[in-house]
Structure 1
C-alpha cells in the first residue's frame, strides 16, 4: 500500500485523489509521501518498535512455506498446523500465523476443468455474443436436461426445526424411481418451458423441440443454446431441424456447462425443491416439479449475463500459462 501511494504520487495525484483511489485516509497518504520524500525507500519501512523481539526468524518462515508447498507428510496428503509444527519444531500458532500471512490453505482443495474443445474460443464468442446482443425478432432459449432425478423418501419422518435445533432427516432413504426434466430458459424473460420424461433419449429431445416450436410464437426465430450430448445430434434431430428452419442451435464447448444459463436455474430447482424434498413415487415427484415451474413462471427472474467473451478468455489464458510454466 505504501508503494502504491508513492507510485500514485509519481503519476501526479494529490493526497485526496490518492486516498480516494486506494480507499485509505488522507492522513495516511500524506504521511507516507512525506516519509518517502525525506528518506526515500527507507522511509517506507517500519520504524523500530518497543516490545518482545521476533521469536520466528526469516529462515524458519521460509522453511514453513517450502515444506508446505513442496512436500507432504508420510501419513497424509497434506500438512496440518500441528503436524508441520511438530516436524519443524515450531508452535502450532506460529505455523498458523505464517499460513495466514502467505494465504496458504493446505486443507482446502478446489476443482477445475479446462475444455479441450478445439473450437472453444469460437463457441464462447458465439454463445456470449448471443447473450449480450440477442438478435431481433427472435427468442434465445438455454436448453438442457436434468436426468436421473430420483424420487426419494427418508426411512424415518423428518423432524421439524425447533429453536436452537435445525430440521433433521435420516441419512438413508428409499428410492421410488427416476425422472428426467427437459427445460428451456428464455434469456429475455426468465420464463421456463419444461417437459418431464421417463428417459432422456433423442426421441424425448425431439419431442421437447416440438413442444418449444408449439409454444414460441411462429413469427419468431428460435436460437437454442445447448451442450454437445449425442442425443442432440442424431440424424432424426438433424432432419427435424431441417424441417424447422427457424431453429438455430448454438453448442457450448465441451466441459463448459457453466456457459449455459439454464444450469443456474437447475441449481435453484435442486436447492429449493429437490434436495430436501421427499417423494414416494415418480408421479408425486413430477407433480412437485411441474408446480415449482408454474410458480417460477408466475414471477420469472431472468439471469443477466455481464461478462464479455474477452473477459472470460483472458483469465483462462493466464491460468493456462500459469499451469504450463509450473512444470507439472
Structure 2
C-alpha cells in the first residue's frame, strides 16, 4: 500500500526549500529538509532513500519527526550530559608558545592545536578571534641603531615641515636591478568580472637602475636610467639634477648607501656649496619620500609590464616620468620629529624587554 504524501504545515515549504538551496546550512539539516519535501511530493520512502543516499528507516524517522513537531523536529535534540568545557585561556596560552619540536612546524594551525588540546578547531578559531591572535601572520621589523638618530630625524623632518626659503628640497635615491621581464605568452586582457591575466613564467632581458630626485613641493621627478649602480653613475645623476635646478640652493635627502659618501661625491659637493646633503638615519630609508614614488612607478608602470629589452623598459620609465610630471602633486609629510622618536624609542624598548 502506498503511503500518502506528507502534509506540510502552513508556510514551512518555503523555509525547507531555502535550506536545501543554501550553502551555509549544515549538511544534515539540508538533507532532512530534502527528505521532507520529497515526502510531501508523494515520493515513496524507498525512492527517497535512494535519491538522498540514506537508509529507509532514516527516511521514515524524519517523516515521523516532522509529522509530530513540524520544522522544529528536524533539528538535533539536546544531548544528555554536561557539555565539555574548554579553557579559553589555555588555548591562547598554548598558541603563544612554540609548538612541540616533534610536530615539526613553526606555528599552530587551528586544526593542529585542536587536535593537541582535544577540542574542535572551530572552538580554537573562535578563541583566536576573540583574543585577536593570528598565528598564521608574521611581520618584519627593523629599528635604527644610528648614534645620530635624534639629530638626523630632526634635521630631515625639519626640512619636510619647514623647507628653507628660496630653496628646493629633493629626495634622492636609486631603484636598482629593475628587470626587463617578458612573459612567455601574451597577456590576456581584462574583461567584465575577469581580471587581466599573465603567465607566471618569464624571460629576463637585463636590468637597469633608475636614479630619481623628487621635488616634495611640486611632486615632479628628475630621473635617469643607468646600466650600472656605481658612484660614477650617481655623480652623473647629481650633475643632471644640478643642471635642472640652476642658481638655486638644493637640499638633498638621501640614505647612507656607500655610493652616496664616496670621496668623489664629497669632492663634487664641496665644489658646489649651493647643494646641501641631509642623510636619513641608518635603517630608516622610509623617511626618504622618493621611496613612496618608487612604489608608485612599480605598481603603475613596471610590475605588470612586459619588456623585450632594457631599452623598452627604460623608454617606459621615461614615459611614466613625463606623464607623472604633468599630473604631479606635492608630497606632504605629517609626522613630527617627536612623534617619530617617541615611537622608535617605544619599539626599541619593547624589543629589548623581550
TM more than 0.5: yes
1:315 equivalenced with 2:340 (yes/no) = no
Distance 1:260 1:297 in 2: 19
Q: Deviations over 1:107-150 (max 9, x none)?
A: 00011111222212211111111101111110000000011111
Distance 1:55 1:88 in 2: 16
Match of 2:21 in 1: none
1:133 equivalenced with 2:169 (yes/no) = no
Match of 2:126 in 1: 97
Distance 1:322 1:139 in 2: 38
What's the offset of the Cα at 1:217? 3.3
Distance 1:323 1:240 in 2: 41
Match of 2:150 in 1: 121
User: Computing the radius of gyration over CA atoms, which structure comes out larger, 1 or 2?
Assistant: 2
Stretch of structure 1 that moved more, 143-152 or 117-126? 117-126
1:80 equivalenced with 2:109 (yes/no) = yes
Distance 1:162 1:135 in 2: 50
Provide TM-score, normalisation by structure 2. 0.74
Distance 2:215 2:267 in 1: 24
Count of residue correspondences:
274
Distance 2:293 2:327 in 1: 14
What's the offset of the Cα at 1:63? 1.0
Q: Deviations over 1:71-101 (max 9, x none)?
A: 3142311111111111111111111111111
What's the offset of the Cα at 1:66? 1.0
Distance 2:153 2:293 in 1: 20
Distance 1:60 1:269 in 2: 50
Distance 1:229 1:310 in 2: 25
- Which blocks of at least 5 consecutive residues in structure 1 are unaligned? 1-53
Provide TM-score, normalisation by structure 1. 0.80
What's the offset of the Cα at 1:206? 0.9
- Which blocks of at least 5 consecutive residues in structure 2 are unaligned? 1-81
Distance 2:97 2:121 in 1: 19
Distance 2:197 2:220 in 1: 34
Question: CA distance change for structure 1 residues 56 and 180 in 2, over 3 Å: closer, same or farther?
Answer: farther
1:60 equivalenced with 2:84 (yes/no) = no
What's the offset of the Cα at 1:61? 1.1
Distance 2:336 2:83 in 1: 50
4+ runs deviating over 6 angstroms: none
1:263-302 alignment to 2 at 5 Å?
263-302=291-330
Of the three residues 240, 243, 246, the one matched with 2:271 is: 243
- 2:87 aligned counterpart, secondary structure: helix
